[in-house]
Amino acid sequence: MITTRELIAQARAREEAMARVDELLASASGTAHDLDNQVEVTVDARGKLLRLWLAPSAVNLGEQLGPLIVEIAQAAMREATQDGYNKVALLLGEDMTSMIEQMTGMPAPARAEDDDPGMTVEEFQRLRAERLGSDAAPAETLAATSVEDEDAYWESFDPASLRSDR
């Protein structure tokens, strides 16, 4: 049974945590770039432009440059929003963060219906087996794989290909 003192301590801890939410959101940011790496935008969780980088070749985009910058900034904003929710979830927990999402009407981008669900564990294992070039059992595959091959794979691995709501 929880005592009154414990309830008061929990309420104070929750109040202190809520006071830190603004600080956490202020530290959240997101960066995005186009496929050709001609435009890169960094924004904070409130949408403030922190950095805009244009490659010299971006001048060749002409009238397409403006809309591309806006599109990249929107992607960076989704990243910043997700970063903010990730930080808040670590502090307040999943339930409180979900409640904040509902109150603001801004669900975490990772929960968007049109979000790419990433790859399943099975697909990851299948692709790994293909990459290693063997249909052998995992133990045999590991024995046949050099450390350099494994290191090269992890250097190019994109964690964004894995699915996570947080």
- Give the DSSP H or E segment for 67: helix 65-92
Question: How high is the mean pLDDT of the chain?
Answer: 80
Q: Which two tokens stand for residue 134?
A: 């063997």
How many Å from the N-terminal Cα to the C-terminal Cα in the chain? Answer: 32
Of the pLDDT bands very low, low, confident and very high (cuts 50, 70, 90), residue 122 is: confident
Q: Which two tokens stand for residue 66?
A: 């403006």
Is residue 126 over pLDDT 70? yes
Q: What percent of the chain has pLDDT over 90?
A: 28
- Statement: the pTM of the whole predicted model exceeds 0.75: no
* CA–CA distance, 89 with 78 (Å, rounded to integer): 16
Looking at the structure, give the CATH architecture of the domain made up of residues 4-109: 2-Layer Sandwich (3.30)
Each domain of the chain, given as residue ranges in start order, spans 4-109, 121-161
Per-residue pLDDT tens for 105-121? 777 787 766 656 666 77
Average pLDDT estimate for 5-23: 83
Is residue 39 over pLDDT 60? yes
Beta strands in the chain (DSSP E): 29-33, 39-44, 49-54
Q: Which two tokens stand for residue 127?
A: 């692709």
Q: What percent of the chain has pLDDT over 70?
A: 78
